[in-house]
Structure 1
Amino acid sequence: MADANSPQLDRLLAGYRRFRESGWNPNRERWAALREGQEPEIMVIACSDSRVDPSQIFDFDPGEAFVVRNVAAMVPPFETTPGRHGVSAALEFAVQVLKVKEIVVVGHGMCGGCKAALTQELRGTEPGEGGFVADWIALLDDARDEVAARHGTEGRVAERAMEQAGVKVSLENLRTFPCIQRKEAKGELTLRGAFFAISDGVLHVLNEADGHFHPAD
């Protein structure tokens, strides 16, 4: 392995130096307080897409939000079968240990995972060649069939419908977790859906009463 820094590492180190100068040093008291533990009141479930960082979109301070990111911002349903339940483990920790008061699922425009779910272009591929993604976004199969029947499988109208349907699927799956059911029923936890449009930078919030996403004030 070569010892010379790569351009990518140089970029990381330059960013780290800026963070030390503008993020760490001016906020030493907050960082000192965070050594005692974290007490975020918000959990955000977002896509891994590099264009939609929740900390940028919501301007979070360190320790303010517990964030989980994955392909298409998906939440699997509650299940007890053997496996590596990464999202479920994060939910369990956030809800039961950190006792967050709000969980926000954030979908976004131009989502590659949702587009692949819509077109089913990865169906049948081998793990490591697209198969892992295909299995993951199969969580959207039922919603995909409804979107395809109404809007087809191509074009931004169909893609946005799929992206927003994905948020609703994750909210539905969140409500299959017994601990979330209990806390939501007691008013101790609020679930919310949102959609960030990359094209214009506008955040839309889901009104579950009418099923539509509305631009945030």
Structure 2
Amino acid sequence: MTGATEITQLLNHAELVSSVAQQAQMVEQNVQAQITRLQQYVTMVQNLKQVPALMIDQTIGPYRTQISNFQSLSTAISQLQQAANATSSLFGRSLSEMNTTGMSPAQWLSAYTSLASTRGGIYQQQLTQDMQNVDALTTRAQNLQQIQSQIPNVAGTVQGLQMLNQQSNVLAGEMVDLHALMQRQVAQQMQDRAGEAQAQGTAAQLAAARAAAMGLTNQQEQQTTQGAPDFDLLQDQ
């Protein structure tokens, strides 16, 4: 995918990231259930009083290995879920702002990167954080693929893991594409000023939409908090 084709996948990206976050939460619960079951079995064997200690160690050794593997898998899934939730904020914000301003995905991305390059400050910080979150999500998805591949038959043992693997594999590729697209857009904003006037116009529109949204939040908070002072909108640095 290139150009407009890539950015029009924004809605699909948002749905996929949300699905991965939900699936990861479910699979993490199933992994924890497997860990608990194995730990209970190890405890039961250890409590056998008439069995030699050496035999107990030999018996529970493989189960301890399985517990360690599942704990590594649990960590990878939790990290994937956290990264997906962090990236979901980007898509939630972008879709809301496109709905408010009437921008297309391509126009929104142009305005977003233009806002960061021309205003700097919190706008640049937000763009940098979003790109880091997209990059981290790619890494976490790839990490899950690697860890689960090292545990024999784990996909058949943990319910939902196979689907999560499939989704995270697709997600990793999509996030690589999205990160590259955002990088190209940033580079274009820095190098190509032919459409500067239009870009600044859409950037100003996006900034106004964000200010309006923050103003609404301020108003709602004042209505629910008696005597609360006006909260100042973040200013450009």
Pick the structure with more helix per residue.
Answer: 2
**Greater C-alpha radius of gyration:** 2
TM-score interval w.r.t. the shorter chain? under 0.3
Question: RCO (CA 8 Å, sep 6+): is it higher in 1 or 2?
Answer: 2
> Given the two structures, how large is their TM-score scaled by the length of structure 2?
0.24
Pick the structure with more strand per residue.
Answer: 1
